Structure formats: structure tokens, C-alpha cells
Amino acid sequence: MVSAFSRPRSPAAPPAAAPDASDAAVARVPRRTGPADPRTRTALVTGASSGIGAALARRLGAEGTWDLVLSGRDPRRLRAVAHDASAAALAVDLTAPGADRRLADFTLATLGPVDLLVAGAGIGWAGEFREMPADAIGEVIDTDLVATVRLVRLLLPGMVAAGTGRVVLVGSLAGCVGVRGEAVYSAAKAALGAFADALRQEVRGTGVGVSHVIPGVVDTPFFERRGTPYRRSRPRPVPPERVADAIRDAALRGRDEVYVPGWLRLPCRIHGAAPGLYRRLAARFG
């Protein structure tokens, strides 16, 4: 077991305060009876209503050694995932005023100290930037960047105080190289990557780690929800379960940066080392 999750397990956490019905809280599904397993770890996963977050929740829930809180915008979908993962959940829009605090308080009341925070909530918008509505600009940046930074700010001090924990930020290839028709999404994910790098330097030596997981095209409802389905033949979308496994591996092995699939590291490296060459290749191959 890596040191990031070496905290001795304390007695069962106090029960959560009665959640606000307006947040569509999902009651905890009991999983264990008897004494707490000393191997049990705690995790909060955002963006768990579907896609990568849902796949990760089910993956961790199946292991039987995680106590989980899940968050997402869709109460119905979130309730189903929480049932499958034997998790507690709070359906909430993290861009709403005070939502980050409500989720943090709910998580700490339900789990106690958090070993793992996986920030997977995100939305996209596809189209020419000059045609992008102003409110859509704010929604993408608030969801993909600001809400995540605020939630990390609330939970990180507890991890540092305990001397253990890991933050996993789910980025995107678009944040490494920029993608035509996704200018604001690319900008938000690029900022998230820079945040991961800076935060990792700040917490070095505290026992807390920061992982940046960078998927390419993933077979999730993301594309339909952004308004434009994915129509390219290459690269082929990977299943969300593959990204979920990479997130789990990054957390348990303490990996700072993970690409899914691994070959995506190459275009990102070319973009960083030889941007002119990358732009020529991008113009030719798209």
C-alpha cells in the first residue's frame, strides 16, 4: 500500500447531517457490518452521474475497500450509480453559489477525512469561438476549472494536516495541444493542467500527491451533451472503464501524470518541444 493511503482508520465517521432536499441527496447504501476494515479508504468522486466518473465509482465500489461519496448533476443517474457502488451521493451543480461548501461538508460528515479526491466533473462546447454564447463561456470555465479549484481548496488542508491523501484532476488532450472548435474547453483544461503542476510543487513533502490524468476521446455522453457528436474515425474512442482504471492506478501508485491511451504522450511532447512542427502536422492531418 502506498503512503498516500496509510492513515490508520478511525472509528466510524459521524452520520451526515440531514441533506438539503433541493440538492437531491441520495441516502447512503449500507455495505458493511461489524468492525471497520483497516484497509478501507475514503474517496469523493465528482462527475459521477455518467461516463468516467460513473465507471470509476463502480470500479472502486466493486473492490469493497472504499467508502465513497459521489457527486453529479443528474439525480436519477447518480442514484443508480450510487446504488451500484454502495455509495453516498449528493446531486448538486458545483457551479451554483455555495455548492462546493455543501459537497465538502456532506463528504466530511459522511466519510470523515478524505483519502482521495477525484475531480471528474466537466462539460464541453463545440463550435467556432466567435459564435459561442457568452453564458456558455462562463459555464465551461466555471464547471471545468473554477468549481474544481474551489473544491480542492476546501479539502486539501485536511489532507495536508493528516499528512496523507491524493488529488486526481481529470484533464484532456485538448488541454495539452488545443483543439479546433473547442477553444474555451481547451483553455479550461490547459489551466487545470497548470494548476496540477503548481499544486504538486506546493504539497511536495507533505504526504499529499497530485495526479493529472489526461484522456483523449472517451466513449461517453460528453459529445452529445456538448451539442456535436464525435464523427472522426481516428483516434477511436476508448471506453470510460479504461480511464477509470488509469485513475485508480494513478492514485494507488502515486503517478503524477497519466495519458489514456499512452500514445497521447507523443503529440503532447511534440507540441511542447517543437510547436512549429506540431502546427504543420495538425494543419495537414487535423
User: 158-214, pLDDT tens digit by residue?
Assistant: 999 999 999 999 999 988 888 888 999 999 999 999 999 999 999 999 999 999 999
Pairing, β 66-72 against β 165-170: unpaired
Mean pLDDT score, 247-261: 95
pLDDT at 1: 35
Mean pLDDT score, 47-54: 95
Calculate Rg over the CA atoms of the chain: 19
Q: What is the pTM (predicted TM-score) of this model? A: 0.83
Place of cell 503532447: 268
Residue 232 to residue 95: CA distance in whole angstroms? 31
Cis, peptide link before residue 239, omega less than 30° from 0: no
Residue 233 to residue 140: CA distance in whole angstroms? 26
Q: Judge whether residue 83 has pLDDT over 60.
A: yes
Mean pLDDT score, 238-255: 94
Residue 281 to residue 284: CA distance in whole angstroms? 5
Place of cell 446504488: 83
Residue 129 to residue 212: CA distance in whole angstroms? 26
The residues annotated with a catalytic role in the active site are 185
Mean pLDDT score, 45-70: 96
Q: pLDDT category, 217, cuts 50, 70, 90?
A: confident
Sign, CA dihedral 174-176-178-183, equals positive
